[in-house]
Amino acid sequence: MLVIKDLHAKIDDKEILRGINLEVKPGEVHAIMGPNGSGKSTLSSVLAGNEKFEVVEGEVSFNDKDLLDLAPEDRAREGLFLSFQYPVEIPGVSMVNFMRTAVNEHRKYAEKDPYTASEFLKLMREKKKLVEIDSNLTNRSVNEGFSGGEKKKNEIFQMAMLEPKLAILDETDSGLDIDALRVVANGVNKLKSPETSTIVITHYQRLLDHIVPDFVHVLYKGRIVKSAGKELAHELEEKGYDWIKKEFED
Amino acid sequence: MNKTCRIVNLQEEYSQLYKENLSLLENGAPEKMNASRAKAFDLFVEKGIPSNKVEEYKYTNLQPFFKGSFDIALSSDAALEGAAENFNCGVPELDTHNVFLINGWFANQDDCNQLPKGVVVGSIREKAEQYPEVFEKYYNENTPNNLDAMAAMNTAFAQDGAFIYVPKGVVVEKPIQLVNIMSGDNDRLVFQRNLIVVEENAQVKVMLCDHTISPQKFVINNLTEVFVKENSVFDIYNVQNQHNLTTQVSGMYVHQKKHSNILTNNLTLHSGVTRNNIRVTMDDEHCESHVYGLYLSDKNQHVDNFTFIDHAKPNCQSFELFKGVMDDSASGAFTGRVLVRPDAQQTNAYQSNNNLLLTDNAKINSKPQLEIYADDVKCSHGATVGQLDDEAMFYLRARGINQTEGRILLMFAFAYEVIEKIRVEPLKENIRSLVEKRFRGEFDKCDSCVVCGQQGSSVSCL
């Protein structure tokens, strides 16, 4: 599904990603962990197409397409979804209008007819129930005045609406209390299927108790320095990152 | 008759125009209208058409626009000539009482029997004869001829316009819509003078819809005087939708008495050069005023909103919000003067002007101007100039929304706050879709107006 080969990216002449290699197959859950500043969020931004970052080397293929060649909106339409670490507030754009535009753009890309207003509202009702999002949130402007937890739930709701093939959750657990974390994790698990994949970027192991990864990678100084099964997450939780840093420096 | 005048040196020819045609200007006009002319004319001649050397017109030099060869209608027949069949009286969706004015002159209106008893709507020159006590009491009593040359010019030259009178205690449910149509075979100079009086405990909502239906150059000086008495509620929405060869100087002078509540909203959706002079005088305690505006400009369009809120008495509140979206090489200006006079304690005055510049060539000058002479007041003001938010744009794109669509969503989100202030629900809906169309580039003056149903003609797409 996703193949990253020797990916290098920089911002303002500072190289943040320094040769990432990663392969994600359908149905797999990958966790990417690592200390602050290791490049985790940069990787997700680069994959989603944020133009603030410049890719200087490497290739990324997504379902056999050259991902780096696609505009951000086309990456989304191809089935890539980024759950933002800091979802943006957009006053004046209603959630309904935002989602209807997004869903219908996806359908247009897939050469399907746009949803009618009633079809769309029905879909929205179903998905809201699925991810346990408060009804009122969708009557408001996009993320405006939402609490941290509400913003993250809203990301998962959007994911449910857009049904991506690959979801990248960028520190979706940061700042979440245990109930919100459960709601978010349940949502992600319900949306999982053998055809879809998930990349969970996190600092802590707690989320991985709920969303169980097949692989855990440690990102450090712009490279994946260690990959293993889910037990690695526990080890990191216990011992911190210092031993990895040490191992890597040596 | 239509008189053709060639204006090269401004004052000289305008003086000549006035002097040579005084008898025609006066012909059939109400006595007080004529009696006010001479003094206003002197004031106009003294000051002249404002250039950018006049502080209040620093960002809008009107002089070049008031030069040229124009027709001016000195009688109703001349104003309506040939245009009578060109306009459409069908109004979709909006249930309003419609009044049509062509080139500044009253043309016709819906059946007045539909209006509540005692409400008077019609041509100002006609109604002045029928209701002299109202006309004499109010006409030209709230127009700052001595301060603004364009107001003085209007008082000197205007011959017709709309008259609205709402008697004590009457609530007019249906909005009254004044459809202003500019039409003609030659370039035109147009004057229009409206007078609106809302008596004690009465309510009325007025829509002013400005259109051009022929491709000629139009130079318009219109002025609306409004008197809002004790405990009454008054709304006026001015939808400006004209082609790029239009220059409009529009005066709106509102005078408020105790416990009254007014709202003005200038929606400049399309025009060439627009200057709105908006003045609200809160001449009694416990008045509330809402002064709003939205301007969407592109190409070389220019919009200048000049507002003056006069807190003359204590315990009044004013809320002012103007927002603008400027594309291409559009330019604009906003001046928000708020005067809190020495004894106007307990004043609450809020003002905000926000602008979105879409290109490097678009330009806005924003000038809040608070003069506070009382010591127990709450006043705030804010002016912002910004671009579309890159982060918000990326967020939209990351959800599969393309840049064009994202831009429209974000522009609409920006404008939305002003649209939300509209207190006539169906009008709000219509403006919402009109603004969206404008941002999509699907809207131009060729469309029939969704507000008043006025048909455009393809030739007017300039």
Per-residue pLDDT band at B444 (split at 50, 70, 90) = low
> Is B413's CB within 8 Å of A158's CB?
no
Tell me, yes or no, if B413 comes closer than 8 A to chain A by beta carbon: yes
Which of A41, A75, A93, A151 best tests the B interface by mutation, with the highest count of B CBs <10 A?
A93
Tell me, yes or no, if B55 comes closer than 8 A to chain A by beta carbon: no
Q: Is the ipTM of this complex over 0.85?
A: yes
Within 8 A of A44 by CB-CB distance, chain B residues are none
pLDDT tens-digit series, residues B287-306: 999 999 999 999 999 999 99
d(CA B58, CA B144): 19
The pLDDT assigned to A78 comes to 97
By Cβ distance, the residue of B397, B403, B413 closest to A93 is: B413
By Cβ distance, the residue of B394, B414, B415 closest to A72 is: B394
SS3 B182: strand
The pLDDT assigned to B259 comes to 97
For B414, nearest residue in chain A (alpha carbons): A92
List the one residue out of B279, B99, B314, B302 whose CA is nearest residue B207. B99
Weakest-pLDDT range from A169-173, B35-39, B88-92, B160-164:
B88-92
The pLDDT assigned to B88 comes to 52
> Is A93's CB within 8 Å of B409's CB?
yes
pLDDT tens-digit series, residues B330-361: 999 999 999 999 999 999 999 999 999 999 99
Within 8 A of A49 by CB-CB distance, chain B residues are 397-398
The pLDDT assigned to A206 comes to 87
**Pair of tokens at residue A52:** 């603030």
By Cβ distance, the residue of B395, B401, B417 closest to A101 is: B401
The pLDDT assigned to B453 comes to 53
The pLDDT assigned to B461 comes to 39
Q: Which residues pair with B255 in a beta bridge?
A: B227, B281
Tell me, yes or no, if A114 comes closer than 8 A to chain B by beta carbon: no
**CA of B294 vs chain A CAs: smallest distance (Å):** 15
pLDDT of B136 above 90: yes
The pLDDT assigned to B94 comes to 75
Phi and psi dihedrals of A9, rounded to 5?
-145, 150
Tell me, yes or no, if A151 comes closer than 8 A to chain B by beta carbon: no
**Pair of tokens at residue B147:** 């301060």
pLDDT tens-digit series, residues B353-388: 999 999 999 999 999 999 999 999 999 999 999 999
Tell me, yes or no, if A77 comes closer than 8 A to chain B by beta carbon: yes
The pLDDT assigned to A19 comes to 94
The pLDDT assigned to B443 comes to 62
> Is A90's CB within 8 Å of B395's CB?
yes
Please write down the HEC assignment for all residues of A64-105.
CEEHHHCCHHHHHHCCEEEECCCCCCEEEEEHHHHHHHHHHH
Task: Tell me if B172 sits within 8 A of B198, measured CB to CB.
Answer: no
Instruction: Identify the structural domains of chain A with CATH numbers, from first to last.
Output: 2-249 (3.40.50.300)
**Pair of tokens at residue B153:** 């010019």
Weakest-pLDDT range from A101-115, B29-43, B209-223:
B209-223
d(CA A124, CA A198): 22
Q: Which residues pair with B91 in a beta bridge?
A: none
**Pair of tokens at residue B216:** 């000629």
Please identify every stretch of chain A with a pLDDT value under 50, giving residue numbers as ranges.
none
With a pLDDT cut of 70, the percent of chain B lying above it is: 93
Amino acid at residue number B302:
H
Within 8 A of A92 by CB-CB distance, chain B residues are 412-417
List the one residue out of B308, B319, B239 whose CA is nearest residue B274. B239
> Is B400's CB within 8 Å of A97's CB?
no
For B388, nearest residue in chain A (alpha carbons): A90
pLDDT of B206 above 80: yes
**CA of B421 vs chain A CAs: smallest distance (Å):** 13
Residue of B85 and B160 predicted with greater confidence: B160
Tell me, yes or no, if B433 comes closer than 8 A to chain A by beta carbon: no
d(CA A166, CA A158): 13
Tell me, yes or no, if A82 comes closer than 8 A to chain B by beta carbon: yes
pLDDT of B455 above 70: no
Mean pLDDT computed over every residue of chain B: 91
**CA of A38 vs chain B CAs: smallest distance (Å):** 22
Q: Exposed, middle or buried by CB within 10 Å (0-12, 13-18, 19+), for B433?
A: exposed
The pLDDT assigned to B294 comes to 97
> Is B397's CB within 8 Å of A88's CB?
no
Tell me, yes or no, if B417 comes closer than 8 A to chain A by beta carbon: yes
Tell me, yes or no, if B447 comes closer than 8 A to chain A by beta carbon: no
The pLDDT assigned to B91 comes to 45
User: Residues B147-166: what's their mean pLDDT?
Assistant: 98
User: Residues B132-139: what's their mean pLDDT?
Assistant: 97
The pLDDT assigned to A135 comes to 77
> Tokens 């809302």 belong to which residue?
B198
Tell me, yes or no, if B386 comes closer than 8 A to chain A by beta carbon: no
Within 8 A of B394 by CB-CB distance, chain A residues are 50-51, 72, 88
Within 8 A of A105 by CB-CB distance, chain B residues are 400-402, 405
By Cβ distance, the residue of B392, B398, B412 closest to A72 is: B398
Tell me, yes or no, if B399 comes closer than 8 A to chain A by beta carbon: yes
Which of B294, B396, B421, B432 best tests the A interface by mutation, with the highest count of A CBs <10 A?
B396
Task: Tell me if B182 sits within 8 A of B212, measured CB to CB.
Answer: yes
Beta strand spans in chain A (E): 2-11, 14-24, 29-33, 54-62, 65-66, 80-83, 90-94, 141-142, 166-170, 197-201, 215-220, 223-228
Q: Where are the domains of chain B?
A: 1-279, 285-383
The pLDDT assigned to B373 comes to 97
pLDDT of B452 above 70: no
The pLDDT assigned to A242 comes to 86
User: Residues B66-72: what's their mean pLDDT?
Assistant: 94
Size of interface A-B (CB pairs under 8 A): 73
d(CA B374, CA B140): 29
Per-residue pLDDT band at B3 (split at 50, 70, 90) = confident
The pLDDT assigned to A243 comes to 85
pLDDT of B217 above 60: yes
Tell me, yes or no, if A172 comes closer than 8 A to chain B by beta carbon: no
Tell me, yes or no, if B402 comes closer than 8 A to chain A by beta carbon: yes
pLDDT of B90 above 80: no
User: Residues B377-400: what's their mean pLDDT?
Assistant: 95
**CA of B293 vs chain A CAs: smallest distance (Å):** 17
d(CA B213, CA B458): 9
**CA of B162 vs chain A CAs: smallest distance (Å):** 37
List the one residue out of B328, B325, B348, B347 whose CA is nearest residue B415. B325
